[in-house]
Amino acid sequence: MDAAAALDAASGDGAFPSRMDLDRNFLDADGEEEEEGEEYYDAGEEEETLYPGLYRAMYAFEPEGTAEMRLVEDQIVRVVGRGGGVGWAVVVDERETEEVAFSGPKHALVPESYLEPYKLDWELEEQSAADGASSSGA
């Protein structure tokens, strides 16, 4: 007896789902299985762009892992992008360590939802371009 027949036979006593239950829950309307990796998308959950630049921590955050960095309220951090999974921002870890002197800046993760833009890199570029144009025109 194959697995499908065993499921159908056992479904009479309510111990296992029937073949019809399995088909209804795991097959789409056409009777074809969903493609692996297909994800549901909710247009209301579209992610905003996380621009590189300076961000202010709206809340304190205590890290739970070694890749995370502690935040204090109103701390200014430099965000370089997203990483570490959904909802995490990659920031430059400016804690003073001996490693920084030898290998350059380290990166750490902080919750993206704890941050608000302070001065984004593109704003600073526009400002310095405007300052350069006004000083050369004088």
User: Within this chain, do residues 64 and 118 fall inside the same structural domain, yes or no?
Assistant: yes
DSSP state of 44: G
pLDDT at res. 92: 92
Residue 86 lies in a domain: yes
What is the pTM for the complete model shown? Answer: 0.57
Residue 6 lies in a domain: yes
User: Within this chain, do residues 14 and 75 fall inside the same structural domain, yes or no?
Assistant: no
User: Within this chain, do residues 67 and 110 fall inside the same structural domain, yes or no?
Assistant: yes
Residues 79 and 64: their CA atoms lie apart, in Å, by 19
User: Within this chain, do residues 4 and 61 fall inside the same structural domain, yes or no?
Assistant: no
Residues 118 and 106: their CA atoms lie apart, in Å, by 21
What range defines the domain where residue 11 resides?
1-39
User: Within this chain, do residues 16 and 67 fall inside the same structural domain, yes or no?
Assistant: no
Ranges of the chain with pLDDT below 50: 7, 10-11, 31, 43
Residue 96 backbone class (left: φ over 0; alpha: ψ -120 to 50; beta: rest): beta
pLDDT at res. 122: 81
Residue 8 lies in a domain: yes
pLDDT at res. 121: 87
pLDDT at res. 52: 95
pLDDT at res. 37: 54
Q: How far apart are the first and last CA of the chain?
A: 91
pLDDT at res. 98: 59
**83, 123, 131 from 127: Cα distances, Å:** 28, 6, 6
